[in-house]
Amino acid sequence: MSEQTVSVLPKQLRERDQWVCWREEPRDGKPTKIPVTPGSGEFASSTDPETWVSVETALEYAHSRDADGVGFVFTDDDPIVGVDLDDCRDPETGDIDDVAEDIIERLDSYTEISPSGTGFHVLIEGELPDGRNRRGSIELYDTARFFTVTGDSLEEMPSRVARRQDALEAIHREHVQDSESDGTSESGYRGVTNEQASTGTAVNTDVDLDDEELLEKAMNASNGTKFERLWNGNMAGYESQSEADMALCCLLAFWTGGDHTRVDQLFRQSGLLREKWDEVHYADGSTYGEKTIERAIVNTSEFYDPDARDNSSEASSRESESSTTSSRDEPAQNHAYLVEKNRLLTDRVDELEATLEEKDDRINELEATNETLREHLSDCQEVLERRDQASNPEMDEAGADDSDSIWGRARRFVGNDS
């Protein structure tokens, strides 16, 4: 990794003295990355801070060819979680398998290619859920472990370590957690069995409303403006269409009682429909649309129940949001998308913090430049004064510092500027 590459590393990593180097050595017949302490070259421990250094020190040691690369150590004192995706990339073509591509897209944070070129490391902020932390080629770490860092980041992904707690929990549940301990079905999604996913059986309740009635209720709800915006294909407030797709599917999952087939039918009428919806993106033959709906239903714990409503007319229920009916419906419908909305707000905060950081860096650069110019001006003044004194020995010190001279005026200007 070059010094220029270091600048692209997220500040959350660069500012922490949690760096080691690594060497590749054979262990049990397999090449293994062994952490070493920069400087001494002795074995480094992922639990001993005395063996860690700054990123600059680690890179200097690695550049001396005493190590093969650098690595970042995860600890309990930082909020950083590493997602290790192995054997998912063709180093010759750069092709990525569907599962890894989906995980990277959903985490939407700083991502780089592993040293072998056959995998990825994704770094996010969050808290690793309880339970197992690895299954197959997917591993999750947040403490007592080091990740190799190459700086070979994916340009299309964010340059910062973003907070992605909701996505982390979903990926942990779907791809890592033991299905026997968390109730996950064979399809990999909690609460949605293969039969339900294929037949469209409602997960919670049956909603006996035709499309027109359902859409009318959705658009007249307290979050109806958001629903209508998404329904019409407006993705304002979302960084990608995939996020907008998921948001609309969560809302449709609530209003349809978790009916997989009904959600699909309604989504196809929306302005968000695109060719990708029917493209096969997963090894089990599932399409992008099918998996999006399954995840939306999984993340919806409350569903619209028409039987829970009182007998008042829909007109009167819409007249007052403080009525018993509205009060009963509003918490349920909000729960279906509150998590997703909170994530968007968190992302916005991250963006604003990144912008402020850039502005602070720019201010520091300008102040440094200003200081350099002052020093240069002072040096020039001294040189010219010595030259004047050498050419005119009768000029005394007071004359050289004459306040009416150009240098006197320059001095006053710089002094006022500071």
| pLDDT tens track for 164-186 | 999 999 999 989 886 444 443 33
**Would the pLDDT of 56 be above 60?**
yes
Closest residue by Cα to residue 171 from 246, 96, 107: 107
The verdict on 108 and 255 lying in the same domain is no
Phi and psi angles of residue 304, each rounded to the nearest 5 degrees, phi first: -65, 130
The verdict on 320 and 383 lying in the same domain is no
Kindly state the tokens that stand for 79. 């909020």
**Would the pLDDT of 188 be above 60?**
no
Q: What is the DSSP string of 63-80?
A: IIIISSEEEEEE-TTS-E
CA angle 102/107/111 to nearest 5° reads: 95
Under 8 Å CB-to-CB from 55, ≥6 apart: which residues? 6, 9, 13, 14, 19, 70
Q: Higher pLDDT residue, 36 or 354?
A: 36
Closest residue by Cα to residue 112 from 240, 5, 238, 22: 5
Provide the residue range defining the domain that includes 290: 200-336
The verdict on 232 and 280 lying in the same domain is yes
Lowest model confidence (mean pLDDT) among 275-279, 284-288, 379-383, 414-418: 414-418
Cα-Cα-Cα-Cα torsion 268, 274, 277, 278, nearest 10 degrees, comes to: 90
The verdict on 228 and 157 lying in the same domain is no
**Would the pLDDT of 198 be above 80?**
no
The verdict on 142 and 47 lying in the same domain is yes
98 phi-psi bin (left φ>0, alpha ψ -120 to 50, beta other)? alpha
The verdict on 323 and 394 lying in the same domain is no
Supply the pLDDT for residue 345: 64
**Would the pLDDT of 194 be above 70?**
no
Any domain includes 170: yes
The verdict on 277 and 408 lying in the same domain is no
User: How many folded domains does the chain comprise?
Assistant: 3
**Would the pLDDT of 301 be above 80?**
no
For the chain, percent of residues with pLDDT exceeding 90: 42
Confidence of residue 196 (pLDDT cuts 50, 70, 90): very low
SS3 at position 307? helix
How many Cβ atoms sit within 10 Å of the Cβ of residue 417?
A: 9
Any domain includes 192: no
| Element housing 314 (H / E) | helix 314-319
The verdict on 118 and 163 lying in the same domain is yes
**Would the pLDDT of 306 be above 70?**
yes
| For range 240-255, the mean pLDDT | 90
Confidence of residue 3 (pLDDT cuts 50, 70, 90): low
- Work out the burial of residue 205: count CB atoms within 10 Å of its CB; fewer than 13 is exposed, 13-18 middle, 19 or more buried: middle
**Would the pLDDT of 369 be above 90?**
no
The verdict on 328 and 410 lying in the same domain is no
The verdict on 162 and 213 lying in the same domain is no
Any domain includes 348: no
Mean pLDDT of the chain: 79
**Would the pLDDT of 228 be above 90?**
yes
